[in-house]
Structure 1
């Protein structure tokens, strides 16, 4: 099942992102505590892509030939995707970005190193209600490995702020995800799932700040991407508000396997206006 995100603000309901699970075993996004897709992983693993998307994918393939966290995350990602099949333009190489909250860095997850931390966050009741990955660490490990050993259409990352891992992210190809069946997807649409791990990092606008920063990173590093999307649970008002504050616009209501979601979109053409 795909998780929903937890809220971006401390003490509020968790934030959710768009849709069924992103690429192999991802979850919904949350801004505050846990942002992510819930029943996503099951959907994604059984995904049967439309013929037009498969053709697009083949064309694309034919045309392409903390420091410790970054190094290990890069190695982990490299083992999961070959040079010619990186569908997200090498997230591991995106590097740090400056935000009003400090220097922020998306670092691909290393299972052996990061499962205890991510598993602890997943067992936070505010996160578990949406991501549905509470329980033994092996549940978290399976969720992460499904993405890391997949075809690269979803990359799980730690969000490292000023050298401290404080959030979990999934950057995924929304156009190659089951979500694409629920809205008029465009080639290279990129989805975001987020959960903010620590209670002290919630409820002070940090979720919105980081969502804006990561959406800008996607648009800066993925020249073919014209839109960043997310699918918070409609009932999760704090989450929807966080996306709106981060420059996303409400596009539509979308029925997903585990929820009715608000389709949130950040357009390249409007990024300087919202």
Structure 2
């Protein structure tokens, strides 16, 4: 999948040294207690457990305190604070709100958007509804590090969003991530809403929502495909900066960053 490109519907090698890419960020090697808990490690332990996973993800996450009463009921950690519960905001395009995806209610419209050729070129989820259903279900039934949402503008669903913990995502292997980095993927659903600057407006609104609702987050990041110049332009216009080109498994991406410290100036 190639998410995160705004205008056409999309909205992850080690990071190159700063002098090669212009990346000003420093690599954070400190593991937070939250990340250690996800990995199943005791922060006070002097050595990793022999059964600890070698990467974030997989069934090893479902153990220890993440189980209820020793049962198989998994309780997802509060990694994002429920983007689907964040308050509506007034934007120049109208009142906008993120609404958590419900598979039975929303699968039809999201699958239809995914089959738009302009969207499919970047998201690679075209096909029967089962293709999109599988993608959504992995997040809805996952560990809480990625939350799929509909973007509702003026009371009408018109975009699809994924708000995710970038520092706990495979993307973190490809850039100097920091604890609590949050990423966004965006798909503008209707053709009539593209090419009018709405992507820029909504990217700014959603990144503001992230920073307002997640105080530990110092940066909102995104990785649109470099070929999608309208998307990169939308991120730049929304106050993101171009940090680097990064080589990801499925694309060459533009690493876009919106810093909390500079949000008032951009």
Question: What TM-score bracket applies, with the shorter chain setting the length?
Answer: 0.7 to 0.9
* 8 A contact 2:11–2:231 mirrored in 1: no
Matched residue, 1:33: 8
Match of 1:57 in 2: 35
Per-residue CA distance 1:239-260 (angstroms, 9 max, x = gap): 1100000000000110001111
**1:223 equivalent in structure 2:** 215
Aligned pairs for 1:154-233 (under 5 A) are 154-233=146-225
TM-score for both structures, normalised by structure 1: 0.76
Label 1:136 to 1:242 Cα distance change in 2 as closer, same or farther (>3 A): same
Report the secondary structure of 2:4's partner residue: strand
Measured in 1, the distance between the counterparts of 2:166 and 2:100 equals 18
1:255 equivalent in alignment to 2:247: yes
| Cα displacement string for residues 220-265 of structure 1 (whole angstroms, at most 9, x for unaligned residues) | 0000000000001112111110000000000011000111111000
Q: 1:143-202 deviations in whole A, cap 9, x for unaligned?
A: 000000000000000000010000000000000000001111000000000000000000
How far off is 1:52 after superposition?
Answer: 5.7
Corresponding residue of 2:106: 114
Runs of at least 4 residues off by over 3 Å:
51-56, 58-62
| Unmatched tracts of structure 1, length 5 or more | 4-27, 38-50, 63-79
What is the CA deviation profile of residues 73-105 of structure 1, one whole-angstrom value per residue up to 9, with x for unaligned ones?
A: xxxxxxx984x7120012122121111101000
> Conserved in 1, the CA contact under 8 Å of 2:32 and 2:179?
no
CA 1:130–1:93 in structure 2 vs 1: closer, same or farther (change >3 Å)? same
SS of 1:35 mapped into structure 2? coil
Corresponding residue number in structure 2 for 1:129:
121
Question: Any conservation in 1 of the 2:224–2:254 contact (CA below 8 Å)?
Answer: yes
Matched, 1:94 2:86: yes
Flag the structure with higher helix content.
Answer: 1
- Tell me if structure 2 keeps the 8 A contact 1:30–1:196: no
CA distance in 1, matches of 2:175, 2:34: 18
User: RMSD of the TM alignment (CA)?
Assistant: 2.2
1:246 alignment counterpart: 238
Give unpaired runs (5+ residues) of structure 2: 13-28, 43-72
Q: Number of matched residues? A: 219
**1:138 has 2:116 as partner:** no
Decide which structure has the larger Cα Rg and report it: 2
Q: Does the Cα contact within 8 Å between 1:81 and 1:152 map onto a contact in 2?
A: no
Does the 8 Å CA contact 2:5/2:232 hold for their aligned counterparts? no
Matched residue SS, 2:157: strand
